[in-house]
Amino acid sequence: MRNILALALTLGAASPAFAAGGGMDLSNTNLVVALAFILFIGILLFAKVPSLIAAQLDNRAEGIQKELDEARALREEAQTVLASYERKQQEVQAQADQIVAAARDDAARAAEQAKADLEVSIARRLAAAQEQIASAEASAVKEVRDQAISIAVAAADQVISKQMTAAEANKLIDAAIADVDAKLH
């Protein structure tokens, strides 16, 4: 501080105002401002303000560096998490694709099985229908035969009854009895 004060006085004494012989004239504003500035700088240096400011700036720089380091670490962690989620998404997508493919295969197999089952069912129903048709045909043929026999017997009865006499009828009855007796014994 004393060095600064001495410097200020030396500068003040060496000023053009001293050289002109006027001494220290405080009405000279340039001199007053210069002395005030030098005094202010001296007080700042005496109070060690530059070292305090430097220390605060260093602390602030360290804080900013720490924040940058944390930000880098968080960014790296975020990138790691993002990569992990992207891998999981790809795995899930692959699983979903496999599930869809398996479902399509199952649906195709089920469709083929349903088609085969339908063909078997149609074949069974067709066979059953053919059996019913054959049965109905046989029944109709039997009915027609029975009806034809009944009509033929009735017609033969009428024809025979018109042409036959009582003596001939008795002969036929006796022949039938003899025929039955011969076949039974």
- Read off the pLDDT band of 9 (50, 70, 90): low
Instruction: Please tell me the predicted confidence (pLDDT) of residue 177.
Output: 87
Cβ partners under 8 Å of residue 11, min gap 6: 34, 38
- Read off the pLDDT band of 111 (50, 70, 90): very high
Burial of 34 (0-12, 13-18, 19+ CB in 10 A): middle
Q: How far apart are CA 48 and CA 166, in angstroms?
A: 171
Q: How much is the mean pLDDT over the chain? A: 85
Instruction: Please tell me the predicted confidence (pLDDT) of residue 84.
Output: 95
Show the CA angle centred on residue 115, arms to residues 113 and 120, nearest 5°. Answer: 95
**What is the DSSP-derived secondary structure letter of residue 15?**
S
What is Dmax (Cα atoms) for the chain?
A: 203
Q: Where are the beta strands (DSSP E) in 44-102?
A: none
pTM for the whole thing? 0.39
Q: Write out pLDDT tens, residues 134-169.
A: 998 988 888 888 888 888 888 877 777 777 777 777
Residue with tokens 């074949």: 123
State both tokens at 39.
């005094």
- Read off the pLDDT band of 171 (50, 70, 90): confident
Q: How far apart are CA 51 and CA 171, in angstroms?
A: 165
Q: What are phi and psi of 23, to 5 degrees?
A: 75, -155
- Read off the pLDDT band of 121 (50, 70, 90): very high
- Read off the pLDDT band of 181 (50, 70, 90): confident
pLDDT (mean) for 49-53:
90
State both tokens at 73.
């670490």
Show the CA angle centred on residue 183, arms to residues 148 and 147, nearest 5°. Answer: 5
Instruction: Please tell me the predicted confidence (pLDDT) of residue 147.
Output: 86
Q: What percent of the chain is helix, strand and coil (3-state, nearest 5)?
A: 90, 0, 10
